[in-house]
Structure 1
Amino acid sequence: MRRTDWLIGAVAGAVLAAGGITAAVASTDDSPGSGSGSASGGAPSSSSADAGFARDMSVHHQQAVEMSYVVRDRTENEEIRRLAYDIAQTQANQRGMMLGWLDLWELPKVSEGPPMAWMGMSEAPSPGEGSLMPGMATNAQMKRLGELNGRAAEVSYLRLMTTHHKGGIHMAQGCVERCEVDAERRLAQGMVESQESEVALMTTLLKKRGAKP
C-alpha cells in the first residue's frame, strides 16, 4: 500500500468516526451533548476537563498518527508496519470522535490556555524540551526519525511511541478521574487499556531488537 493510500484510509476513517459519533450521540440519552452524562446538566464548558481533554488528546493523537506514517516508509518489517498502521487508524478515529464532540458542544477546537491546564500542570509529567505535552516527541526527534531506516528507524519509533503512549495514558487517566461526560470517560478508559497493552508489546519488540525502551 502506498503512503498516499494509507493516509487516505486513516483520514477517511477519522471523518467517518467524527460524523458517526456526532449522529450517534445526538440520538441517544447517554450522549456528550444530552446532559445525562454531565453533572452540570448540559454541554461541558470550554474550561472543563471534558473539553480540555478532547482538545489536548486530539493534538497528542495527531503526532502519533504522523509518527506512524513516518516509520511505515522507513522500514520493510511487516510487524512494525502493522503496529504503526493499527496505531494510526485507532488514534485517527479517536481524534475524529473527540473533534466531533467539540463540534457538538459548539466549543473551539484550539486550546484557549496552556496545554494540560485542565489537569493541573503540577500533576502532569514535565514535557520534554520542545514538546507540547507529556510523552510528545520534539521536532528534533521527529526529524531524526524521518532520517533513519530499517532497524534504527524501528527502534527509534518504538522508543518514541512508548514514551508517547505513557504520556497519553497519564492524560487519559486524568479524564477518567475528572471528565463528567460518560461517553468520554469510557473512551478515555479504553485508551488506557489499549495503550498499556501496546506499551507491553513495544517493550517485547524492542527486546527482540536488542534495545531497551
Structure 2
Amino acid sequence: MASGRHADDGEAPIQGGTAEGRPEGKVDARSSVWAKAFEHNTALVLIIGVLFFCVLSGLYDQFYGAFGLTSVDLGIDYKETLGRSWGFILYLAIISTGLANAAFSYREDSGKERKGLKVFLGVCAVLVLGGMSALSAVVAGESSKVLGGEAVPPIEVNFGFRIMLLDVHAHRVEQVLPVNSMTPDPAHCEKLMHLGSSDRTYILYCADAGKERVVRLSMDRYVLHSKEAP
C-alpha cells in the first residue's frame, strides 16, 4: 500500500513560492521597502537628526551672526534647535521619508521604473534645497529689520493654526528698570532690541545709528519691559 506520492510518479515536484506563483524572496520586494529601512532605523534617525541640526543651527547662526552672535551665545542647544523649529523639521522629515523610500525602491527596480524614481528623487532634492534657500532668504530679511530697530516675530506659517518654522525673533525694549537704587542705569539706547536670554543674562542689541552694539544685562539687576512684534 502506497503511503504517499513521489516525484517519480510523473508529477513535477512543487517549487517553493507563493500562492501567486512568485518565487520565495520576491514575495514582498516592494512592500518590504519600509521593513528594510527600519532594520537600520537607529542609524537613520541619528544621521537625519544630525543633518537637521546642522541645517537649522546654520540658519540660527545666520540670523544671530548679523549681530556678531551665535546660537550658542543665546543658549540654543541641540534640543532647543530641533524643538523650536518643529514645522521645518516636519517639512524636511516628510521629504526625507520619500527620499528613503525611493532610494530603497531604486535597488529593487530597473528600466522604466528607475527613470520614474530618478525624477522623484530630483523633485525631493529640489524641495529640500528650495525650502532651505527660501527660509535662508527670510532669515536674512528678518535680521535686516532688527538691525534697523524693528521688532520681528518668529518665522511661521498659518493654515488656521500656526506652524513654527524657525524661532528667531526680537522684541523692542520699552523700559529697563534697575531692581534697586544701587544698580547703575544702563547705557541709554533708543532702539534696544531683546534677542533672547542665556545664563540669567538678557542678550540685547542697540540699533541706534552710530551706537550699534550688543548689550548684556543681568536678570538679577534689571527688569525689562518689551513689546513683541504683532
TM-score, structure 2 as length reference? 0.27
TM-score, structure 1 as length reference? 0.28
Q: Which has the higher contact order (CA 8 A, sep 6+)?
A: 1
Q: Would you tell me which structure has more strand in proportion to its own residues? A: 2
Larger radius of gyration: 2
